[in-house]
Structure 1
């Protein structure tokens, strides 16, 4: 019996002339760099588009394949479309629509949402784009429920993000869906991704990462993470850091962009996410080890923070991981 290794998850970038730099670079860094030391197989990235397409109006791009190859990919990413006042090229619209019909997960970054809307993929769905273009998207495509206030929207097989740094947030969210939170966080740390901005969307947002540079709280963070099951207070953290609560708050804001209690709450929620994804522990047990006290308290805080109850979160990620596992499972040949 011969066992065939699992196939890599194929990701196709659907580029067009004038595509923006950042929204093209973000998926290239996440899916195009070999992170197989963290998860093997990693993704296989393909760039699809017309020959000689310009990036940001400065650099010429030589795509690996034409747009007609998009339906062959498991995930299709449409970076920021530069000409939002014009109808996207018919070839691009048709290829994106065909990819979705073939079962691909279709993702837009920033104004790439205009392409997905033109293809009819956002009709009746909640979606987002760069805040400066949200009104234009809603006006041109009234069947789309445009939310301008979030970092990204995950609507199952169709996902959309706001602009710039939110594109990286969504790319890491895809890694989290496919490989789990530990791998996504490891990739984020290697990319030195800054903390998420306040006011980001609630559902399934990865944990803000502290500044990786040396700082006065460097020893405090691991101390706290090892004691999440305990009822820690600001005074406890200040005493461990050997500083006053006011000085602690000042350093916390400088390093994490938030307060000690909010950061502590985020770490508890993040630990609960990891346990819901990777263990069969009951909600009561998870509430205990994350310092939430009771299952009712965990459910209340989890739902308030992420927009879904713990049981739904676990079921959603288990189903997606099972779907991914089945799609990539090795075939046994005689």
Structure 2
């Protein structure tokens, strides 16, 4: 069975361990122990995480794992020589190596990202690039795969990376069922922005937040001010005023951004025609969608789709 080795060190960021659950849940979906997961450290024994408590680990030893995953830390610091040696060995012996969040720094320090595309948490991307100029840092990707080396953005993006690994091993249906059991979205494409419209709008009240979530889940609806106001239990006039006060945008502009975000994601996945994407995101027709793309991104959707196709052809999505 494929062995998954999670490499940790003192002060590792505990959110990175969330990716462990992906392989645990995948075993349940598959109906057998398809993955054997180990948490590893240089000396084994208890290792403290970013919250200060410890988890038990096994020492590096001589065992080679099918996939070796390094979890990052909140504070980037030089890695122990033994950790770097172990990762260099894994770079040639493991089928895949991966870094979650600032785990990309550790892979770069080990020389595993030289000449490769990689990503990390957006707040660290520029620093990573300056420290390791031979790495081609893609600052706004959820995850990246270049050859047998995978990297992800921060925190929850490690789950997206792990789901992509499961899909790589057992196909989309297994990954989709795994995500469903975890009650997470399957799966954000690697090229999707680390930022989301819902996060950027940051509504302060539950009423406006509820209306935005409703809009995100009902993009095929007209999503008029009247429809959204009803979900917030406000009059259309009250809703429009409160919405603009809390988000700085009109409801129509926010809905358009939600449609664009989803349309871009669907195009990057590459499974739907332009007409299908337009219908499923509520643009109604390709021309209306094209105008919105040009207005917001400065280029038509065909250009974005071709770029995503080129990246998939190069194994980078």
TM-score range, shorter chain: 0.5 to 0.7
Please state if 1:76 is matched with 2:65.
no
Distance 1:113 1:184 in 2: 25
Q: CA deviation at 1:127?
A: 3.7
Distance 1:170 1:114 in 2: 15
Gaps of 5+ in 2: none
- DSSP 3-state at the match of 1:121: coil
Gaps of 5+ in 1: 1-6, 321-334
Contact 1:283–1:310 (CA under 8 A) maintained in structure 2: no
Counterparts of 1:111-130 in structure 2, within 5 Å, are 111-129=102-120
Structure ranking higher on relative contact order (CA contacts 8 Å, 6+ apart): 1
Counterparts of 1:1-334 in structure 2, within 5 Å, are 10-16=3-9, 18-28=10-20, 30-31=21-22, 33-34=24-25, 44-49=36-41, 50-56=43-49, 58-64=52-58, 66=60, 68-70=62-64, 72-73=65-66, 75-80=67-72, 84-86=76-78, 88-102=79-93, 104-129=95-120, 137-146=128-137, 150=140, 152-156=142-146, 157-162=148-153, 166-175=154-163, 178=167, 179=172, 186=180, 189=183, 203=192, 215-216=206-207, 224=215, 228-238=219-229, 241-243=232-234, 244-247=236-239, 250=242, 260=251, 261-263=253-255, 265-266=257-258, 269-270=261-262, 273=265, 281-295=272-286, 298=289, 301=293, 304=297, 309-310=304-305, 313=308
Distance 2:285 2:90 in 1: 45
> Relative to structure 1, is the Cα distance of residues 31 and 91 closer, same or farther in structure 2, using a 3 angstrom cutoff?
farther
Aligned alpha-carbon RMSD (Å) = 5.0
Q: How many residues align?
A: 293
Contact 1:14–1:79 (CA under 8 A) maintained in structure 2: yes
TM-score by length of 2: 0.64
Moved over 6 A (4+): 206-211, 251-254, 256-259, 305-308, 314-320
Q: CA deviation at 1:269?
A: 4.4
